[in-house]
Structure 1
Amino acid sequence: GVGPESVVAVALPRSFDLVVALHAVVRAGGAYLPLDLGLPTERLAYMAGTAAPVCLLTDLPSLGALPELPDTEILVLDAPERAAELAALPGGPVVDAERRAPLLPRHPAYVIFTSGSTGMPKGVLVEHEAIVNRLRWMQDA
């Protein structure tokens, strides 16, 4: 169910699995919402409630540090049943025909929240096109 215009929360420690999860969300066309497990659960709940992710990717050790997200499907990546499910999926690049809709440069790639130093944190959607523009600027600079 992930595709352009959908958000996927990702709550994993810094690891190879985190990189793979973020890459998978973006390849599917979704936008990832990083949930830092070091933040208070109230803030994580606020971020998830505001961004309304369709699902949450996490692992067994991180599961206990997360707030309850009643409207969000939780996928525990290192659960035994999940490993078999993931292994059965085909490899190779994801193409638009496999997505819910074609992925366009204006679609969001990730959601980031401000520090909230002046009140409640605010979420910002960053589009694929903005990332490409930044990378091109960095190459030129």
Structure 2
Amino acid sequence: MLNLIQIESGFTTQQAEVIVSALIKIMEANMDIVYKDMVTKMQQKIKLELHRLKQQVMDEVIKVRTDTKLDFNLEKSRVKELHAQQDRAVTQTDRKIDTEVAGLKTMLESHKLDNIKYLAGSVFTCLTVALGFYRLWI
């Protein structure tokens, strides 16, 4: 490149060297600027992609939280309904037991009264027979 500048432009060797070194410095500076721009653009792209991914993750987290809350509330209502059904069944069973106990008490009282009637009848019969024998023998 040095010879090309000397021959075509008519510069001396020293002038050509200065021009070439200046051109090299300018090219290096331009390359640094281009490289920095490329890095900055890549960083911006990466930051944008990172922001987009963060947003997607946040959206998914919100969706999962919402779904979890909904599932939790549905399960909670289902458990409450099951509890209410069991309470109704227990209450109904208690009523049946109370009814059966009342029926058994009534039946027991009825049998007790029957036993008292039969006992009284038996006692009076025995007393009548005993009095009859007593009268016959006296």
> Of the two, which has the highest radius of gyration?
2
Question: RCO higher in 1 or 2 (8 Å CA, sep ≥ 6)?
Answer: 1
Q: TM-score, normalised by structure 2?
A: 0.15
- Kindly indicate which of the two structures has a greater share of residues assigned to helix: 2
Structure with the higher fraction of residues in strand conformation: 1
